């Protein structure tokens, strides 16, 4: 009988899914969900045939070189900036992600964060819990910004951006977007979205949401200059990757009320959040949870396992990434 393949499972998963995987593979899992450092990750990969990991584990050329048996790395995420794709190509190791299954859940959370930020939900709850309710006039704080009939600017018009655009129509928003390439006319119509250049989007939007992939080109794309172009009444939401925003510049803009507020699900140094952001009231902070419903996390893990086993069995994984 053929030997079972060895798989590194970088995070704990639902017990029934782990049990399923253990029927067909020898699994090294991470039951306490400790954060991996590069040295330990390299050592854990060294004797594996495959790895199922999350966006938090960075896989580089050095690790791939030290893992001669490795055939496939399956990311439990749609974003794959954690994988050095040229190195994967050079090492002839497959890489996969989990698109589609998280689109609607993530778009929902983009809206959640945008609405919480514009309507100052978390700040107002803290205010209530602190016992301030009863001491305010109807024209006093916490007053907030409208969503309906406002202008939404979506940066990155992939699957999630399009799902956000469709939701926005229900709020009678004017939907604009910027993307590397323009959508087809049909798709623009379906999304009710108008293409604008980046500067127009920055200047005209009441709410901006970042949903593009993180690449070396858009590192700190959102800095002082971009924040200065935004309306002082506008909000910025980031559900993409922390590194797209210069967090110190954002904290400064928020502190000086250059923009109304920000909603952040992702951070450059996550799970650490810089104190400059933690000190502010006009920012809603979330622990990278946009895809975190039970149903969607289960679907993501199942798809990642499917991709992994397909690759190990000599089939083309459904979500094989091109280098």
Query: Residues with catalytic annotation?
Result: 241, 270, 288
Does 54 bind ligand 8YV (CB under 6 A)? Our answer is yes
Beta carbons within 10 angstroms of residue 126's beta carbon: 13
- Alpha-carbon distance 320 to 100, whole Å? 14
Complex with ligand 8YV: residue 109 or 178, whichever CB lies closer: 109
Answer yes or no whether residue 95 interacts with ligand 8YV by CB under 6 A: no
d(CA 21, CA 179): 39
The Cα–Cα gap between 300 and 97 comes to 9
Specify the residue, 60 or 270, whose C-beta has the smaller distance to ligand 8YV: 270
Q: Is residue 73 close enough to count as binding ligand 8YV by CB under 6 A?
A: no
Is 13 among the residues that bind ligand 8YV (CB under 6 A)?
A: no
Instruction: Give the nearest distance from C-beta 134 to ligand 8YV in angstroms.
Output: 40
Q: Which stretch binds ligand 8YV (CB under 6 A): 72-80, 130-138, 197-205, 221-229?
A: 72-80
What CA–CA distance (Å, rounded) separates 252 from 224?
A: 9
Q: How far apart are CA 195 and CA 200, in angstroms?
A: 10
Minimal distance in Å, beta carbon 222 to ligand 8YV?
Answer: 18
- Per-residue contact flags (x/-) with ligand 8YV for residues 206 to 245, judged by CB under 6 A: ----------------------------------------
Q: Considering only 20-28, 76-84, 131-139, 169-177, which stretch makes contact with ligand 8YV by CB under 6 A?
A: 76-84
In terms of CB distance, is 17 or 229 closer to ligand 8YV? 17
Give the chain's end-to-end CA distance (angstroms, integer). 34
Question: Can you tell me the distance from the alpha carbon of 18 to that of 279, in angstroms, rounded to the nearest whole number?
Answer: 40
Residue 77 or residue 152: which is nearer to ligand 8YV going by CB? 77
Matching residue, tokens 């409208």: 146
Query: 109 and 239 in contact (C-beta within 8 Å)?
Result: yes
**Binding test (CB under 6 A) with ligand 8YV, winner from 103, 235, 291, 307:** 291
Question: Within 10 A of 149 (CB to CB), how many other CB atoms are there?
Answer: 10
Q: How far is the CB of 23 from ligand 8YV (least distance, A)?
A: 24
Least CB distance to ligand 8YV at residue 295 (A): 13
Q: Between residues 52 and 221, which has the closer beta carbon with respect to ligand 8YV?
A: 52
Please list every residue from 131 through 160 that binds ligand 8YV, using CB under 6 A.
Answer: none
Specify whether the CB–CB gap between 206 and 236 falls below 8 A.
no
Strand ranges (E), the chain: 6-9, 26-28, 50-53, 72-75, 94-96, 151-155, 174-178, 193-195, 207-210, 235-238, 261-264, 283-285
Q: Does 55 bind ligand 8YV (CB under 6 A)?
A: yes
The minimum distance between CB 177 and ligand 8YV, in angstroms, equals 19
- Determine, following the binding rule CB under 6 A, whether residue 79 of this chain makes contact with ligand 8YV: yes
Residues 6+ away with beta carbon under 8 Å from 84: 58, 59, 60, 61, 64
Is there binding between residue 122 and ligand 8YV (CB under 6 A)? Answer: no
- Contact call for residue 9 and ligand 8YV (CB under 6 A): no
Residue 302 interacts with ligand 8YV (CB under 6 A)? no
Q: Are 178 and 153 in contact (CB under 8 A)?
A: yes
Closer to ligand 8YV by CB, 80 or 177: give it: 80
- Is the distance from CB of 259 to CB of 230 less than 8 angstroms? yes
Q: Which spans of this chain sit near ligand 8YV (rule: CB under 6 A)?
A: 54-55, 76-79, 102, 291
């Amino acid at each position: 009988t053929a030997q079972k393949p060895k798989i590194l499972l970088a995070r704990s998963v639902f017990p029934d899914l782990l049990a399923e995987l253990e029927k067909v593979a020898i699994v090294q899992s991470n039951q306490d969900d400790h954060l991996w450092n590069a040295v330990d990750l390299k050592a854990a990969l060294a004797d594996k045939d495959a790895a199922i990991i999350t966006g938090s584990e960075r896989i580089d050329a050095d690790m791939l070189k030290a893992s001669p048996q490795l055939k496939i790395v399956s990311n439990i995420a749609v974003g794959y900036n954690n994988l050095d794709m040229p190195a994967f190509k050079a090492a002839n190791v497959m890489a996969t992600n989990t698109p589609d299954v998280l689109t609607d859940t993530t778009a929902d959370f983009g809206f959640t964060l945008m609405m919480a930020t514009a309507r100052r939900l978390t700040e107002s709850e803290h205010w209530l819990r602190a016992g301030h309710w009863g001491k305010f006039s109807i024209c006093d704080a916490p007053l907030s910004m409208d969503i309906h009939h406002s202008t939404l600017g979506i940066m990155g018009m992939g699957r999630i951006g399009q799902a956000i655009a469709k939701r926005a129509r229900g709020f009678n928003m004017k939907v604009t977007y910027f993307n590397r390439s323009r959508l087809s006319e049909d798709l623009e119509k379906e999304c009710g979205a108008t293409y604008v250049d980046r500067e127009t989007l920055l200047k005209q939007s009441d709410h901006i949401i970042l949903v593009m992939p993180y690449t070396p080109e858009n590192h700190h794309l959102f800095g002082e200059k971009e924040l200065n172009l935004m309306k002082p009444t506008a909000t910025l939401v980031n559900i993409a990757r922390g590194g797209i925003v210069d967090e110190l510049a954002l904290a400064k803009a928020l502190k000086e009320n250059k923009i109304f507020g920000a909603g952040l699900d992702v951070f450059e140094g996550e799970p650490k959040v810089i104190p400059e952001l933690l000190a502010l009231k006009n920012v809603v902070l979330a622990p990278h949870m946009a895809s975190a419903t039970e149903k969607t996390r289960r679907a993501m893990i199942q798809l990642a396992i499917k991709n992994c086993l397909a690759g190990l069995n000599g089939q083309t994984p459904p979500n094989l990434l091109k280098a």
